[in-house]
């Protein structure tokens, strides 16, 4: 039996045959024009405001002195290799401190979120640890550990290099901050997730490892990245113990000529690393907000 194709419904049009309506084209054109107008206004206002600020600074009477004292390009090129050698030490300290902070903060966060009665003393100690190091300024912790530990005259410990002691102070302080961020991520996971995992036969450890931690870490990734950016900047504080990193090297070069351009060079080196990290953090935060909004809409 043959089918009369002319009597049936017409087949749907292929995607290649679809064309937007006149109204849709008009809406697209209006949105495109509005976007171009917004970009033009933003660029114009930015140029006017930034140009006015630059004009005020450059035309001020003290600008020549400031330019020669802080922005001496030739002197900056001269000291750049020396300061960059110190900056490489900063990056090394950040890498070492990041690994130590990740391990210790995870341990502290897990202890604080543990529900076992036998872990009560450890929860108390972890709480005291977090409260102390979160409430004490980092520079004081560095001074206390950098000068206090050698004064104890303990075997091996008292002979540690100031670089190690300064890094240990940063690790202890940032562990308190990061542990609280991770703990907040763990507590943000709904109890029903634990119940569902337990009903499937997972143990407490398996539930934490495969269900709770992946969700909790993903939710707090933006603040963790912010802490990493702060760590990159604060690692320079070890210079107060005499560690010859970028800031200390800039101070040495400045003391030779009383020209502060080396400090500007050191700042630029930090900005070259921190600005991309900050933009990446903003992007991760935007994606996290969009994902949460999509889940809420669903």
**22-57 confidence digits (pLDDT tens):** 888 888 888 888 888 989 999 999 999 999 998 998
For residue 242, name the pLDDT band (cuts at 50, 70, 90).
confident
Are the CB atoms for 272 and 87 separated by under 8 Å? no
* 1 domain-assigned: no
What whole-number distance in Å separates Cα of residue 258 and Cα of residue 68?
11
User: CB under 8 Å to 85, separation ≥6 — which residues?
Assistant: 249
Q: What percent of the chain has pLDDT over 70?
A: 91
- Alpha carbons 150 and 153: distance in angstroms, whole number: 6
Please report, in angstroms and rounded to a whole number, the separation of the first and last CA atoms in the chain: 48
Report d(CA 53, CA 47) in Å as an integer.
Answer: 10
**pLDDT confidence tier of residue 281, bands split at 50, 70 and 90:** confident
Mean pLDDT computed over every residue of the chain? 87
pLDDT recorded at residue 5: 47
Domain annotation covers residue 108:
yes
245 lies in which domain range?
A: 75-289
| Mean pLDDT along residues 259-263 | 94
The answer as to whether 129 is a domain residue is yes
Is the pLDDT assigned to residue 69 strictly greater than 70?
yes
pTM of the model: 0.79
Mutual orientation of helices 162-188 and 221-234 as an angle, nearest 10°?
Answer: 170
**Distances 172 to 100, 137, 138, 240 between C-alpha atoms, Å:** 9, 12, 9, 17
Domain assignment of residue 208, yes or no = yes
**158 pLDDT band (50/70/90 cuts)?**
low
Q: What is the pLDDT of residues 166-198, one digit of tens each?
A: 999 999 999 999 999 999 999 988 888 888 888
Confidence of residue 298 (pLDDT cuts 50, 70, 90): low
Q: What is the pLDDT of residue 16?
A: 59
Residue with tokens 């542990």: 179
CATH number of the domain bearing residue 219: 1.10.3720.10
**Alpha carbon distance 226, 278 (integer Å):** 7
Mean pLDDT of 59-68: 89
The answer to whether position 161 is within a domain reads: yes
Give the ranges where the chain is alpha helix by DSSP (H).
Answer: 22-58, 63-70, 73-113, 120-135, 138-151, 162-188, 191-199, 204-207, 213-219, 221-234, 246-257, 261-297
Domains: count for the chain: 1
Please report, for residues 186, 214, 260, the alpha-carbon distance to residue 125 in angstroms, rounded to integers and kept in the order given: 19, 26, 45
User: Does any domain span residue 143?
Assistant: yes
Provide the phi-psi class of 153: left if phi over 0, else alpha when psi is between -120 and 50, else beta: left
Is 296 a domain residue?
no
Q: Compute the average pLDDT of residues 54-80.
A: 90
Between residues 61 and 154, the one the model is more confident about: 61
Q: Measured at the alpha carbon of residue 60, what is the angle toward residues 267 and 252, in degrees to the nearest 5? A: 30
Residue 20 lies in a domain: no
């Amino acid at each position: 039996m043959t089918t009369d194709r002319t009597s049936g419904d017409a087949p749907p049009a292929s995607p290649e045959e679809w064309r937007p309506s006149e109204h849709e084209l008009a809406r697209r054109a209006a949105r495109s024009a509005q976007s171009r107008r917004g970009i033009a206004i933003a660029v114009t206002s930015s140029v006017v405001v930034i140009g006015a600020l630059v004009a005020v600074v450059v035309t001020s009477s003290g600008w020549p002195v400031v330019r020669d004292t802080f922005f001496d390009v030739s002197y900056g090129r001269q000291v750049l290799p020396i300061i960059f050698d110190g900056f490489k030490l900063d990056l090394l300290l950040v890498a070492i401190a990041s690994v130590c902070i990740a391990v210790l903060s995870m341990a502290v966060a897990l202890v604080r979120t543990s529900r076992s009665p036998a872990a009560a003393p450890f929860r108390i100690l972890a709480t005291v640890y977090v409260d102390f190091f979160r409430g004490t300024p980092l520079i004081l912790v560095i001074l206390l550990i950098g000068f206090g530990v050698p004064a104890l005259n303990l075997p091996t410990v008292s002979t540690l290099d100031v670089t190690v002691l300064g890094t240990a102070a940063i690790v202890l302080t940032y562990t308190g901050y990061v542990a609280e961020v991770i703990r907040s991520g763990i507590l943000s996971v709904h109890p029903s997730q634990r119940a569902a995992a337990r009903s499937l036969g997972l143990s407490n450890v398996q539930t934490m490892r495969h269900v709770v931690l992946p969700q909790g870490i993903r939710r707090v990734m933006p603040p963790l990245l912010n802490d990493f950016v702060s760590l990159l900047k604060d690692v320079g504080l070890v210079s107060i113990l005499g560690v010859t990193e970028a800031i200390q090297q800039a101070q040495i070069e400045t003391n030779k000529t009383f020209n502060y351009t080396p400090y500007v060079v050191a700042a630029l080196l930090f900005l070259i690393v921190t600005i991309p990290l900050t933009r990446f953090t903003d992007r991760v935060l935007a994606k996290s907000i969009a994902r949460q909004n999509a889940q809420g809409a669903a």
